[in-house]
Amino acid sequence: MSLILFILLCQTFVSQGTILNCDFETSCNDFDVKSDWGITDGYQPQPLDHDHTLNIKAGQYVFYPQYDYISWPKIRTQNWLQPTTDRPLCFRIWYYSSHINFLFSVQVVQGDDIELTHTVASVLSNNLSTVDWTLIDVKLPNEKIKISVQTNLTSRYLAFDDISVDYCEGPIPSPPKVLFTCDFESSCSDNFVSLSTYPYQWLISSANDARKIESNAPSADYTFRNGSGHYAFVPVFKTFDDGKVGYLHLQKQLQITSQESYCLNFQYYAYLTISRIFLKIYSWASDESNAIQMLWPTEGSHQST
């Protein structure tokens, strides 16, 4: 008994260092594990006679009971995961399975509308764990996400233990190279112009001034979270015409080569209007092709409101 208590205490101190953790020895508060999942131990194996955390019969883990029909139970993070540094985060989960054609996938959910989902890892029949617990270690995108473990059960068994999110092992990566950034609070706003030949004209102003022009515009910006902060917006109250557009053009050219990849990040707010609004982001190549390419929305993402 004293040995078990010692192991439990050690595990408690170790788990305190993780960002998210669920070892099923105590209440799981970081992950949403639905009631479809059962909790057991090595004395009532389903199917293993030991857990991964303590590696003893008294240790607990979750399992999904065998049914006569196909089911897709999920395990998800309770809250949004918002990175606060440039250090990469990793999602780790220990699993045991056997006799299943497709086991499970690890997915990340992005966007405030929770409609943008993509798979970052899959466990298939060719990497079954039929002997003991097996680790899945997945590097996560450095942005606001939720994590979902999506299963597809057609036969027994599937068990999970020690689900966690923590900093990835290895050295801290170099800070990202930023080609351009603008919060509309400085002279960077001069790099943007509203193309004059289109009916909708973009304006850059404080939230307080924007509300005087467009009553439904947001009352605070994203940077300062108050009315004095600035943002770019399109007044549509006085001018409304179906099928017409307005372009906010970045005049600064960005030098991007095929040897490097970059991400575009922006915040947007769609306020109430009498019709649907579509927001699209394009790039314009300055080479001989003069090609125009739509960067956003990507396939499957939410593009209108």
Q: Which residue has the higher pLDDT, 161 or 305?
A: 161
- Please tell me whether residue 278 adopts helix, strand or coil conformation: strand
Q: Is the pLDDT of residue 303 over 80?
A: no
Q: How does residue 12 score in pLDDT terms, banded at 50, 70 and 90?
A: very low
Pick the CATH number of 10-167 from 3.40.50.10800, 2.60.120.200, 3.40.50.1000, 3.90.1150.10: 2.60.120.200
Across the beta sheet with 74-77, what order do the strands follow?
31-33, 74-77, 146-151, 102-110, 116-124
- 241-259: average pLDDT: 85
Q: What is the pLDDT of residues 44-99, one digit of tens each?
A: 988 889 999 999 999 999 988 765 555 677 899 999 988 888 888 999 999 887 66
Q: How does residue 25 score in pLDDT terms, banded at 50, 70 and 90?
A: very high
Return the number of other C-beta atoms located less than 10 Å from residue 161's C-beta.
Answer: 24
Amino acid, single-letter form, for residue 206: S
- 8-17: average pLDDT: 43
pLDDT computed for residue 279 by the predictor: 87
pTM of the full structure: 0.56
Q: Give the start-to-end residue ranges of the domains of the chain.
A: 10-167, 177-305
- Identify the burial level of 305 via C-beta atoms within 10 angstroms of its C-beta, where 0-12 means exposed, 13-18 middle and 19 or more buried: middle
Contact 194, 248 (CB under 8 A): yes
